[in-house]
Structure 1
Amino acid sequence: MSYCVRLAEPHDAERWDAYVTAHPDGTLLHGFRWKTLVERTARQVCPYLIAEKKGQVAGVLPLSLRKSLLFGRSLISTSFAVYGGPLVDDAAAASMLDDAAWRLAEDLGASALEYRSLMASHAHDPDWTLLEGQSAVFQAPIAPTADARLQAIPRKQRAVVRKALKNNLKTRLGHANWRQAYALYAISVRNLGTPVFPKALFAGIADLFPDEAEFAVIETQAGEAVASLVSFYDGDTVRPYYAGGTPSARMVAAHDGMYFSLMERAADRGCVLFDFGRSRVDSGPYRFKRNWGFAPTPLGYEIRTAPGRKAPNVTPGAGGYGFASAVWRRLPLLLTNRLGPVFARHLG
């Protein structure tokens, strides 16, 4: 009996999430709630595909349609997510989902289909291009004791973490902190020359992920909020996801203390893997994570484009985006906070 591939409906959510949870490559970012989050906060169309065989789920493919005046239309798995791509039982299900996704891309007027997978699955397929050398992910096991976790950090970075611990920074936790976490995040991304995501994204995370999401605001002893971090607890993995801060955060090593304290809380919750997330190769965040002793793993992102079309390049420094990024860093924060979400929902 062949596979049946169709668009997932709301009533499929429970079966979809059960499949994602059971799959060895499944993440919270593949889950059905991510579809709700992107549709609600970025107003992107999310045509999730589900493959079935004999009435059982045999594969899932989360998708979202990004429409950009600068980069055109792309069908992405998945927007606003480090990881995506199909989760399948076997190669036959993968092939069925690939074909259905490309037909869907053509129907939606998209010139590109992008999979944000940890491992590429089309390395020898001429229709696909591996986005090599652009980004890497940083993952490492969480040591079993507090002393071992500190000793696992290389000496120079460990000294910075010790400085943060001596500064007695305070950490406020709770979903009620999402607004302040967003405000600090908006400062950071403006300084990086990147439009800030809609505020509704943080509100949506607080609403849709009551148990998995964590909002942390870091304060000095004087009560000044200098840094923030939105993280996800995803099974036995913790994923720091959206970090923000003021220029004064560096003076008190706020980010260093913030990440180490997250490791401590994650260990207390039984997590065994720290996923430091994605960074562009040789960027500041890339070097920061290497300083912590994390080894980069190249991401297996891959893209299929329509005949005669080039893969869109949305990395800072590329073409017109590089110029726009330089200009954005010079704009007032009030203005970037107002304009940023208009552009950022097409960049996720």
Structure 2
Amino acid sequence: MNRQARLIGPEEEKRFDAFIASHPKGHFLQSYGWGEVKATTGWQPLRLVLEEGGSIVACASLLKRQLPYVGKSILYAPRGPVVDFHDANLFSELLAAIDGVARQEGAILLKIDPDIPESDTAVKQLLREKGFRLANKGAGFEGVQPRHVFRLDLTPSPEELLANMHSKTRYNIRLAQKKGVTIKDDCTLDDLPVFYEILKETTLRDRFLVRSYSYFETMWREMVERGYARLFLAYYQGEAIAGALAFIMGDKAWYLYGASSNRHRNVMPNYLLQWAMILWAREQGCTMYDFRGVPGDLDEKNPLYGLYRFKKGFNGTFTEFIGEYDRVYSPFYYWLWQAALPLYSQGFRRLLFWKKKAAAVE
């Protein structure tokens, strides 16, 4: 087979995204626009395509991060690459092309975390044969992308979807409607500051970090305006009390960012928000709705068990992915990176959290 690999530029964005949207393993994190979002946070996006007869047959959106002082970099393909992993020859050709990019960019590793279920032993064996090593074995949120999610099949009718939910979830959706909670699903950029204020309130309550407002502005420009995301806001008595961002790529949708105010939580806005996003995704022709991360540790004493219970109530399928796999190009620098990164990340996150908390108090 005469297949050719090359890096593409912005003039081929629509063609690149069209292939990802049509592929069974296509993901919004592999889209051209998401690479532009990550470019504002120190990553350099590199879009690689493998073509045959003028058509794309596989691709990868690679994020390159330059490492300080050593003149090296890392490559990361979030939820990629976009390829049929069960076609060993096709995967091998794409991997060879990625290896070429890695050499040019001085990469010490390639990290992937593809949308492949843990039960797929054939793909795990293929990755091992190609020199990949499992990089993360945690049961929680230790990875870059969540290893455990809930996924909802959207092919049943709305009535069937409701009927299949846990009775408490169905009750809370109807309670929100009865209490007068309304959903604004035609948000504009003017609504983004409203969402961000609720998001900051959420981060302080639940003790997690949040990106800067400029990051969400970029996300709006690169994803919402491209038609790959939409903002939803829940209102009660004229006040926005919850919000969420939903993403879409082809026939798949994802819930990514959610926020809720400390006020009026008893009217259950988050349940109605999810239901509105599910209906929207279904109207867009989606057949799958991904609730994103839940803990793998299902002990009820786990602080994140409430998140698991909330998402489980919508009757999605608990899904575990194969996790992160690293292809190592430089064993010494990889060891150094593995040793230094956890210490750096813990210190940076702790410092950033307390700075944000102090600023909120002031």
TM-score by length of 2: 0.76
Per-residue CA deviation, residues 135-185 of structure 1 (Å, 9 max, x unaligned), is: 212111236444333221112333333332222112223123222222322
The aligned residue for residue 317 of structure 2 is 295
Q: Does 1:175 align with 2:188?
A: yes
Structure 1 CA distance for aligned equivalents of residues 295 and 112 of structure 2? 17
Cα-to-partner distance string for 1:62-109 (whole Å, 9 max, x where unaligned): 11023577xx9531112xxxx332325943332132233244345434
| Cα distance, 1:162–1:321 mapped onto 2, change above 3 Å | farther
Q: How much does 1:30 deviate?
A: 2.4
- Using the TM superposition, give the Cα deviation of residue 220 of structure 1 relative to its aligned residue in structure 2, in angstroms: 1.6
Question: Residues of 2 paired with 1:271 and 1:204: CA distance?
Answer: 25
User: Would the aligned equivalents of 2:25 and 2:82 in 1 still touch at CA under 8 Å?
Assistant: no
Distance 1:45-1:249 versus aligned 2 partners, 3 A rule: farther
Letter aligned with residue 133 of structure 2: T
CA contact (8 A) 2:148 2:293 kept: yes
Structure 1 counterpart of 2:175, one-letter code: K
Where does structure 2 lack aligned partners over 5 or more consecutive residues? Answer: 118-122, 140-146, 298-303
Structure 1's 280 and 75: CA in aligned 2 closer, same or farther, altered over 3 A? farther
The equivalent of 1:343 in structure 2 is none
Other-structure match for 2:165: 153
Q: Is the 8 A contact 2:83 2:90 kept in 1?
A: no
Q: 1:321 to 1:288 in 2, by over 3 A?
A: farther
Partner of 1:136: 148
Preserved contact between residue 229 and residue 242 of structure 1 (Cα < 8 Å): yes
What do you get for the CA RMSD once the two structures are aligned? 3.3
Structure 1 contact 230–241 (Cα < 8 Å) conserved: yes
Equivalent-residue separation in structure 2 for 1:194 and 1:66 (angstroms): 24
1:84 aligned partner: 80
Q: Does 1:123 align with 2:144?
A: no
Out of 177, 199, 202, the residue aligned to residue 213 of structure 2 is: 199
Deviating more after overlay: 5-14 vs 43-52:
5-14
Q: 1:122–1:183: structure 2 CA closer, same or farther, 3 Å change rule?
A: same
CA distance in 1, matches of 2:352, 2:9: 39
- Do the aligned residues in 1 keep the contact of 2:48 with 2:62 (CA within 8 Å)? yes
Q: Residue 51 in 1 paired to residue 64 in 2?
A: no
Structure 1 residues 92 and 319, CA gap change in structure 2 (3 angstroms): same
Give the number of aligned pairs. 327
1:273 has 2:288 as partner: yes
CA distance 1:225–1:153, change in 2 (3 Å): same
Change (3 A) 1:88 1:4: farther
Residue in structure 1 matched with residue 233 of structure 2 by the alignment: 217
1:255 maps to a residue whose letter is: N
**Do the aligned residues in 2 keep the contact of 1:86 with 1:94 (CA within 8 Å)?**
no
CA displacement at 1:304 relative to structure 2: 2.2
- Asked whether 1:114 is paired with 2:138, we answer no
Fraction of identical pairs, as percent: 21
What code does the residue aligned with 1:64 have?
A: L
User: Kindly tell me: are residues 278 and 105 of structure 1, through their superposed partners in 2, closer, same or farther at Cα, counting changes over 3 Å?
Assistant: farther
1:285-322 alpha-carbon deviations (Å, 9 max, x no partner) = 3343223322321123322234253585999xx76655
More off after superposition, 272-281 vs 226-235? 272-281
Give CA deviations for 1:189-209 in whole Å, capped at 9, x if unaligned.
Answer: 444443322323322333233
- After superposition, the Cα gap between the structure-2 partners of 1:204 and 1:148, relative to the gap in structure 1 and judged at 3 Å, is same
Alignment equivalent of 2:176, drawn from 164, 173, 185: 164
Which residue of structure 1 lines up, in the alignment, with residue 331 of structure 2? Answer: 307
1:233 is aligned to 248
Contact 1:228 1:243 in 2 (8 A): yes
Give how far 1:7 is off: 1.7
Whole-Å separation in 2 of the counterparts to 1:336 and 1:110: 39
**1:246-267 CA deviation, whole Å, 9 max, x = no partner?**
2335332221221122223333
| 8 A contact 1:76–1:114 mirrored in 2 | yes
SS in 1 for 2:331: coil
Q: Output the amino acid matched with 2:108.
A: S
1:169–1:254 Cα contact (<8 Å) kept: yes
Give me the whole-angstrom Cα distance separating, in 2, the residues matched to 1:270 and 1:52: 28
Pick from 71, 82, 97: which aligns with 2:94?
97
Separation (CA, whole Å) in 2 of partners of 1:159 and 1:165: 10
CA–CA separation in structure 2 for the residues paired with 1:95 and 1:38: 27
- Residue 22 of structure 2 contacts residue 250 of structure 2 at CA under 8 Å; is this kept in 1? no
